[in-house]
Amino acid sequence: MKKIILLVFALALSFSSCEKDDICDANTPTTPRLVIGFYDFLNPSVLKNVSNLKVVGEGMTDGILFNGSQTTSGNTISIPLKTVGTSTTYSFTLNSGNANPALIDEDIIKLDYTTQELFVSRACGYKSIFTLDPTNPYTHTDATAANQKWIKFISVEKSNIENENETHIKIFF
């Protein structure tokens, strides 16, 4: 009987040292990406598909992967912003990889913002939320010539980037 009690006691002690696993649930909102919608410049209420868009961050050689490739042909994209620092620069190349170099056009957009860190949970840690600079949220230049921008106009729809459920920036071309 003493052996059974000692065995149960030893077993109870071994389980008392177990700790709950802290795993961040995949559905927990984390640092949001910037959601960009592309619209027709001549008909601003209509979403417009971009052809073979490649988005590359400053200092990077490879673009962001969209659907397993580095180019996308859709009307909405989500791109990350740097959590360290106050700006992120991307080059947006329309018709990337086209055989005719005259059809390839690259514009550069620098986004200026502030960040705020919010505690999510012990398992997930912190997430960053972004607020685009109210006076100058972006700088738009063309990589080759200022008068040949494929992006005609940029509209900031939501300056607070807290989730990915809404379009933050509209690009008209």
Three-state secondary structure string covering 89-136: EEEEEECCCCCCHHHCEEEEEEEEEEEEEEEEECCCEEEEEEEECCCC
In degrees, to the nearest 5, what angle opens at C-alpha 35 toward C-alphas 43 and 155?
Answer: 45
What pLDDT, on a 0 to 100 scale, did the predictor assign at position 111? 97
User: Tokens standing for 39?
Assistant: 């619209």
Check: CB of residue 141 under 8 Å from CB of residue 150: no
Q: What residues does each domain of the chain span?
A: 43-172
Helix (H) or strand (E) holding 8: helix 2-16
Mean pLDDT by 10 residues, the chain (173 residues): 67 61 83 96 93 90 77 88 95 88 90 96 93 94 73 95 95 95
What pLDDT, on a 0 to 100 scale, did the predictor assign at position 97? 82
What pLDDT, on a 0 to 100 scale, did the predictor assign at position 21? 64
Phi, psi of 14 (to 5 degrees): -65, -35
